[in-house]
Structure 1
């Protein structure tokens, strides 16, 4: 679950003088993009615009804007891909700093639902970040494009710089648009088609990650069978830090973590016992009803009931930040340096953005709320992805409350795969980076759990060196191992 630090919705007024529109998708096919090519010059910006007539899939992007990634010789592209009629999805792509012609490709998705992936870019694992309250970003030495070609995608429509019609109201309805996006990306950048591909995400990514990965695997099978036309996506890795997967497991974990965690006791024993009874008598039956009927009404009710009887009493118990309980409650209206930066007209023009930046879109998130998507467990999809042989990592920072380590451990121990019994019985061992313990982990076959010390919700922000090492190992299809 994600309580966005920026919850207002900026008006999606289009800067027409810097706008490149690509026509909507009329059929998700896999023919080559770029049949029609043009260079569109706007004040201060030159776009490359492409359209494939058979599918009406197009992109408009700027090449090497000079924003964020300033490492010499490292290319970047930013702009729009159309995934439907008036559905313009913003992306920012960075080549790997090392051997980009052979490096794998990875996509990053922030959670929400309804928060921009550019938050992860600037605050966690992208090529640049803001230091010491600076007004301009500086290079991030622990950027994930040290190893991989990185693709940051603003989805669904209405999030970040993406704009237009938004048909998405659940993880299931978001997945096809993500698949279309990757198909079109391959069409235009065919050199990445055969690369190993990874999905990394966080928070509501506990829904996004399993849902998107499962859909990709299903589409791959359909392509092999000849029932879907497209390019197989060589999905090899899925990593989800501080994810929300299953309320039945994780609402109970909220109570356990609030009572006993390494940093700060949030509730006393009588309150714990009272909350456990409320979970058992009110929250759990509502979740079971959602699971049984799968109706929007029942699933929305389950999410609301559990929030009221479990989460709200904990949140009202003391002053703490849900993303890092070591800190007092954060100000939801506090300025965000990168959001202010992305609002600058010169920056928007340079990266080819045609709308105002929305860090966390209220309306897109509200659509997910309306279907009760939060209460729909992604455990079956997560298990399916692991069973398919994808290298999967569940990891969490120890100071996060809202998607805490107790919940991640409960989820990992409940995953259904051939090594389930061995995994559940296995003890956590130290995870080290250059000889220093930064966490604890356990692995069986292609499934891994990592607990990261001294880290809040956004693990790569708190422990960037550890996060980069972990990312490299998982994307290389290796087991977790200390260095």
Structure 2
């Protein structure tokens, strides 16, 4: 999920400490895991930090029974909280590779927002278990990414999903999140040292287009981490390019009439260049696309729940869909003080998060995943985190060029071709703007389905970076085209031709 708003200029590096903590279980005990009490957490984290590296995966974090499954898995999986500094507790869910986990790569996955949970990626995109519409049962995923990789799903930043902070302070920014994600990765490897030498890939979606390259800047400076590459799906790479490309996407997909297109050319373009990003002319607004009533995450999919208004009341909650209006630049038309008596929930428009919300908030599931009683009720996106988040970067050119300049990392930028939140044309323009040498001209790529080759989309390969589209997929590529997405992921991980 993604919400864009104008980021303030500048970025400052934020440093912090790390610690090791989480759900601990006494050896041989079948009792509920001992969860760190608020008054004990800072002391316990400090004590554990002084113990030095662990020597095996933490038994207290292993998920031994997961409700809703027809049969428990043959592979191991773990869930718990990672202590980041004195107050932050980031929730992770780690699933070992179904075959040869010792030699399989370690892949970190981050969903976007900012403020949305990576459990959405786990339970609805490419995790080993997919939540069913009843919100109770899980189904095994035939195209789970952990068939070939050890998958680490991290809920970040604090305040998202089951991640929280003891001091309840959830205001953060791009550089702080990048550093905290690096600390979380280091803490995870302190708990799971057996994976510290495995090939490492950083992957994400949507606002992960900011999270992943900024995290990679930290990781590439750490020689103890075996970083091999990054992959970003339907990512925000440049506000300006994303905005300017959207209008072209909309017109050539039949969303704008000929007269409106001519007017936009008149008002918003000069000397062959158009500006729909920060044009002072009010005629050059992206509201023509935002307010179309279409599903911005998949142009050709129906809008779950009907075409949404900007907000509605649902029980004790005020539900706002503002997160999905990815291009709003105007101030909100009302004061949030007027609604503070109601809890605010933020749902991406035209999507249905009822099933994962029901499942993850089940007391039995929370217990199985070793979720601290101090962790909040799970929601797909955090209104508080999103509202207070400071965006410090307008584009990712510097981060990509730094990775490419090292000449040892491979990069995949992939897009479902019917997504309007982060459209394929914008990310293609962005990759082109990096001015890397073309190795393979744009061509169709194929995957096998039912014994027959099908066109999965199109790919253009440069030195150490590829841009790839997935035909018929929206913002969440593995949800819409699971087999094509798995094929793409497998070829990226194994460094095979697309």
Quickly name the TM-score band, shorter chain normalised: 0.7 to 0.9
Q: Which residue of 2 aligns with 1:327?
A: 301
The 5-angstrom pairing of residues 306-385 of structure 1 reads 309-316=284-291, 318-331=292-305, 334-354=352-372, 355=375, 356-368=377-389, 371-373=390-392, 376-385=394-403
The 5-angstrom pairing of residues 53-452 of structure 1 reads 53=47, 55=49, 61-67=60-66, 72-131=73-132, 133=134, 135-164=136-165, 165-166=168-169, 169-218=172-221, 220=222, 232-261=224-253, 265-275=254-264, 309-316=284-291, 318-331=292-305, 334-354=352-372, 355=375, 356-368=377-389, 371-373=390-392, 376-388=394-406, 389-417=408-436, 419=437, 422=438, 427-434=441-448, 435-452=453-470
Alpha-carbon distance, 1:480 to partner: 3.5
Structure 1 length-normalised TM:
0.78
Alpha-carbon distance, 1:184 to partner: 1.1
Name the one with the larger helix percent.
1
Alpha-carbon distance, 1:89 to partner: 0.4
Structure 2: 5+ residue stretches without partners? 5-14, 37-43, 306-320, 322-346
Alpha-carbon distance, 1:180 to partner: 0.7
Cα 1:156/1:280, change in 2 over 3 Å? farther
For the 8 Å contact 2:135–2:357, the answer to whether it is kept is no
For the 8 Å contact 2:45–2:86, the answer to whether it is kept is no
Cα 1:215/1:83, change in 2 over 3 Å? same
Alpha-carbon distance, 1:51 to partner: 5.0
Inter-partner Cα distance in structure 2 for 1:133 and 1:278: 49
Alpha-carbon distance, 1:285 to partner: 8.1
For the 8 Å contact 1:443–1:480, the answer to whether it is kept is no
Inter-partner Cα distance in structure 2 for 1:339 and 1:134: 7
Alpha-carbon distance, 1:185 to partner: 1.2
Inter-partner Cα distance in structure 2 for 1:87 and 1:276: 49
Inter-partner Cα distance in structure 2 for 1:306 and 1:78: 50
Inter-partner Cα distance in structure 2 for 1:313 and 1:286: 11
Q: Which residue of 1 aligns with 2:2?
A: 2
Q: Which residue of 1 aligns with 2:316?
A: none
What is the aligned residue count? 417
Inter-partner Cα distance in structure 2 for 1:42 and 1:348: 19
Q: Which residue of 2 aligns with 1:480?
A: 497
Structure 2 length-normalised TM:
0.75
For the 8 Å contact 2:210–2:396, the answer to whether it is kept is yes
Alpha-carbon distance, 1:215 to partner: 2.2
Q: Which residue of 2 aligns with 1:15?
A: none
What SS does the aligned partner of 1:244 have?
A: coil
Alpha-carbon distance, 1:2 to partner: 1.3
For the 8 Å contact 1:47–1:62, the answer to whether it is kept is no
What SS does the aligned partner of 1:433 have?
A: strand
Alpha-carbon distance, 1:387 to partner: 2.5
Inter-partner Cα distance in structure 1 for 2:415 and 2:483: 15
For the 8 Å contact 1:323–1:402, the answer to whether it is kept is yes
Inter-partner Cα distance in structure 2 for 1:244 and 1:103: 29
Alpha-carbon distance, 1:120 to partner: 0.3
Alpha-carbon distance, 1:73 to partner: 3.0
Cα 1:377/1:185, change in 2 over 3 Å? same
For the 8 Å contact 1:60–1:79, the answer to whether it is kept is no
Q: Which residue of 1 aligns with 2:310?
A: none
Alpha-carbon distance, 1:66 to partner: 2.4
For the 8 Å contact 2:205–2:235, the answer to whether it is kept is yes
For the 8 Å contact 1:77–1:94, the answer to whether it is kept is yes
Q: Deviations over 1:3-26 (max 9, x none)?
A: 59xxxxxxxxxxxxxxxxxxxx97
Structure 1: 5+ residue stretches without partners? 5-24, 225-231, 288-301
Alpha-carbon distance, 1:336 to partner: 2.2
Inter-partner Cα distance in structure 2 for 1:364 and 1:307: 30
